[in-house]
Amino acid sequence: MLVMVSRLLSSKLDISELLTTIMRLASRVVGAERASLYLLDEKSQELYFDVALGLPEDVQKMRWKLGEGIAGTCAKEGRSIIINDTASDPRHSKKADSASGFVTRSLLTCPMIIKGKVIGVVQAINRMDGEFTDTDRNNFEAFASQAAIAIENSRLFSSVKEEKRKLDLVFRRIKEGAILTDTAGVIQLMNSAARTYLEHDKYKFTVIDAAFQDFEVNPPLRAVMAGKENHSHFELYRAAPKKFYMDGTAIKLFKDDGEGGQTQEGVLWIISDVTARKLEETMARNFLSLISHKFKTPLASINGFAQILGDEAGKNQALPAIVKKASDTINAQGQKLNRLVESLLNFVMIDSLGPQELDRIEFDAAEFLGEVAEAARIWLKETPGVSIKIAVPEPVRMKADRKLLASALKGAIDNAVKFNPAKDKLVILSAQARDGFSLISVGDNGPGIPGEELENIFNKFYQVEASFTGQVEGWGLGLALLKKVAELHGGRVFAKSQLQKGSAISIALPG
Nearest alpha carbon to residue 25 among 55, 10, 4: 4
Q: What is the pLDDT of residue 51?
A: 59
Quick check: 18 pLDDT over 80? no
Q: How many CB atoms lie within 10 A of CB 510?
A: 13
**Residue pair 193/176 in contact by the 8 Å Cβ criterion:** yes
**Higher per-residue confidence, 23 vs 226:** 226
310 band by pLDDT with thresholds 50, 70 and 90? confident
| pLDDT score recorded for residue 27 | 78
314-368, pLDDT tens digit by residue? Answer: 777 777 888 888 888 888 888 777 777 777 777 777 777 778 888 999 999 999 9
pLDDT tens track for 72-125: 999 999 999 999 998 888 888 887 777 777 888 999 999 999 888 999 998 888
Q: pLDDT at residue 57 above 80?
A: no
Directed axis angle between helix 275-315 and helix 321-351, to 10°?
150
Question: Which 3 state secondary structure label does DSSP give 234?
Answer: strand
Q: Provide the mean pLDDT of the chain.
A: 84
Tallying the residues shown for the chain, one arrives at 511
Query: Mean pLDDT across the stretch 46-55?
Result: 69
Report which DSSP code applies to 457.
G
Q: Please, are residues 232 and 250 in contact by the beta-carbon 8 Å criterion? A: yes
More confident residue, 192 or 477: 192
> Is the pLDDT confidence value at 468 over 50?
no
Whether the CB-CB separation of 274 and 290 falls below 8 Å is answered with no
Kindly tell me if the per-residue pLDDT of 154 is higher than 90. no
Residue 55 scores a pLDDT above 70:
no
At residue 267, what are phi and psi to the nearest 5 degrees?
-140, 135
Strands 360-364 and 386-391: unpaired
The arithmetic mean of pLDDT across residues 486-501, rounded, is 89
State if pTM tops 0.85. Answer: no
Average pLDDT over residues 54-75: 81
Q: For residue 54, with 0-12 CB atoms within 10 Å meaning exposed, 13-18 middle and 19 or more buried, which class applies? A: exposed
Interval 234-254 mean pLDDT: 91
3-state DSSP of 411-435: HHHHHHHHCCCCCCEEEEEEEEEEC
Distances 56 to 53, 101, 447 between C-alpha atoms, Å: 9, 10, 75
Confidence (pLDDT) at 474: 60
Q: Which of 27-31, 138-142, 208-212 has the highest mean pLDDT?
A: 208-212
- The contacts found for 278-284 with CB under 8 angstroms, 24 or more apart, are 278/243, 278/245, 279/243
Query: Nearest to residue 458, comparing CAs of 499, 434, 486?
Result: 486
pLDDT single digits (tens) 362-418:
999 999 999 999 999 998 888 889 999 999 999 999 999 999 999 889 888 988 898
For residue 213, CA distances in Å to 9, 203, 227, 240 come to 50, 10, 20, 13
Q: Cα separation of 431 and 510, whole Å?
A: 13
Q: What is the pLDDT of residue 113?
A: 92
Residue (of 511, 510, 508, 478) closest to 493 by Cα position = 508
CA distance 465 to 275: 30
C-alpha 419/C-alpha 464 separation (Å) is: 10
CA contacts within 13 A on the Cβ side of 50: 21
At residue 170, the pLDDT reads 67
Q: How confident is the model at residue 509 (pLDDT cuts 50, 70, 90)?
A: very high
Q: Which stretch of 291-295, 420-424, 499-503 has the lowest confidence by average pLDDT? A: 291-295
User: DSSP states of 65-105 as a string?
Assistant: ETTSHHHHHHHHHTS-EEES-GGG-TT---HHHHHH-----
24 CB-contact burial (10 Å; exposed 0-12 / middle 13-18 / buried 19+): middle
CA distance 334 to 298: 10
* Per-residue pLDDT, 470: 36
Would the CA dihedral through 276, 281, 282, 283 be positive or negative?
positive
Q: Which of 63-67, 137-141, 258-262 is predicted least confidently?
A: 258-262
Q: Is the pLDDT of residue 52 over 60?
A: no
% of residues, the chain, pLDDT over 70: 89
Write the pLDDT tens digit of every residue in 265-295.
Answer: 999 999 999 998 888 777 766 776 677 677 7
Cβ atoms of residues 472 and 446 within 8 Å: no
pLDDT of residue 458: 80
Contact by Cβ (8 Å): 487, 401: no
Q: What is the pLDDT of residue 281?
A: 72
Q: Which of 510, 477, 504, 475 is nearest to 491 (CA)?
A: 510
Amino acid 3: pLDDT: 67
Strand order in the sheet with 187-190: 187-190, 177-181, 262-273, 244-256, 231-238, 216-218
Residue 438 clears pLDDT 80, i.e. is over it: yes
* C-alpha to C-alpha distance for 244 and 273, rounded to whole angstroms: 8
Over residues 244-249, the mean pLDDT reads: 93
